[in-house]
């Protein structure tokens, strides 16, 4: 490979392949979050080079990272313009009309005076960028591929960490110190004894509820861990199979020459 080919610009086919690989790895709910930023881009590099046709050149990690960031930046800008046009609720405007108006709006930005240059990957990336933009609350949440659950040193929140709301478990505060009785009483029995029994019953119910919640969280964690292992194994197997197929394609077997020695005569 010459030095000129290493610096060649990405063509339409390469951009589409890169975007598909990026989405495949980013949207994997287990692999996507259980890796560092460097591991994520290494997977992008590996997946891209394993799937590239023979007529395309290999790209290193820095190259695919820079290209993908440029694509995401421009797609995100146009997505914002589309949202602004949609907010105006143009009467009778089709999706194509809205997109064209959004492109006109985008060109008012000095950075995009020459227009939007990623039309060939817009259909691939538009929904992904819009979804991540709508679902990630500001100001600190980062993209899923920059999160590593295995590291206690992570400086960013983990969007997929199960919470009480996401698991369907109730979220509330429990006050174990309350001495309020449930309802009034017409009995002349000493209040201290009745309060003590009611408080013990409440405490027992609370402890039982806490135990149930802990058990539920344990089961959920086991499911997630097992799913992580299975998906990782499936991913590794698929990558190995792709690698073997590519080796076979580039190095044809010699079965024909062995089985037909008369060819050489």
What is the span of the domain harbouring residue 122? 1-161
* 75 and 21 assigned to the same domain: yes
* Better pLDDT: 129 or 171: 129
Neighbours of 31 (CB within 10 A): 20
* Residue 35 near residue 148 (C-beta atoms within 8 A): yes
* 37 and 151 assigned to the same domain: yes
* 21 and 150 assigned to the same domain: yes
How many domains is the chain built from? 2
Region of poorest pLDDT, from 53-62, 127-136, 226-235 = 127-136
* 6 and 127 assigned to the same domain: yes
* 27 and 149 assigned to the same domain: yes
Its sign, for the CA torsion 36, 39, 45, 48, is: negative
* 68 and 196 assigned to the same domain: no
Alpha-carbon distance of 205 to 213, in angstroms, equals 12
Mean pLDDT of 96-104: 95
Q: Say if residue 243's pLDDT is above 90.
A: no
* 264 and 226 assigned to the same domain: yes
Mean of per-residue pLDDT scores for the chain: 73
Q: What is the largest CA-CA distance in the chain?
A: 117
Mean pLDDT of 95-108: 95
* 40 and 141 assigned to the same domain: yes
* Better pLDDT: 180 or 118: 118
Note the pTM of the prediction, 2 decimals: 0.50
Its sign, for the CA torsion 188, 193, 197, 198, is: positive
* 193 and 257 assigned to the same domain: yes
* 203 and 83 assigned to the same domain: no
Q: Supply 108's token pair.
A: 């008012």
């Amino acid at each position: 490979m010459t030095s000129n080919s290493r610096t060649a610009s990405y063509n339409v086919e390469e951009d589409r392949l890169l975007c598909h690989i990026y989405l495949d790895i980013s949207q994997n709910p287990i692999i996507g979050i259980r890796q560092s930023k460097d591991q994520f881009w290494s997977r992008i590099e590996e997946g891209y080079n394993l799937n590239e046709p023979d007529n395309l050149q290999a790209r290193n990690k820095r190259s695919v990272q820079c290209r993908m960031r440029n694509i995401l930046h421009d797609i995100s800008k146009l997505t914002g313009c589309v949202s602004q046009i949609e907010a105006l609720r143009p009467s009778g405007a089709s999706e194509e009309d809205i997109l064209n108006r959004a492109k006109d709006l985008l060109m008012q930005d000095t950075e995009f005076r020459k227009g939007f240059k990623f039309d060939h990957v817009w259909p691939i990336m538009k929904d992904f960028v819009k979804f991540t933009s709508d679902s990630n609350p500001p100001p600190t949440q980062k993209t899923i591929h920059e999160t590593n659950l295995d590291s206690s040193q992570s400086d960013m929140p983990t969007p997929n960490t199960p919470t009480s709301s996401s698991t369907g478990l109730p979220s509330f505060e429990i006050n174990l110190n309350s001495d309020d009785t449930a309802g009034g009483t017409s009995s002349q029995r000493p209040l201290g004894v009745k309060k003590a029994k009611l408080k013990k019953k409440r405490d027992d119910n609370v402890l039982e509820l806490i135990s149930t919640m802990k058990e539920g969280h344990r089961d959920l964690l086991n499911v997630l861990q097992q799913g992580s292992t299975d998906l990782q194994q499936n991913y590794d197997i698929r990558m190995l199979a792709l690698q073997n197929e590519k080796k076979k394609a580039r190095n044809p077997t010699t079965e024909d020459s062995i089985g037909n020695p008369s060819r050489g005569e």
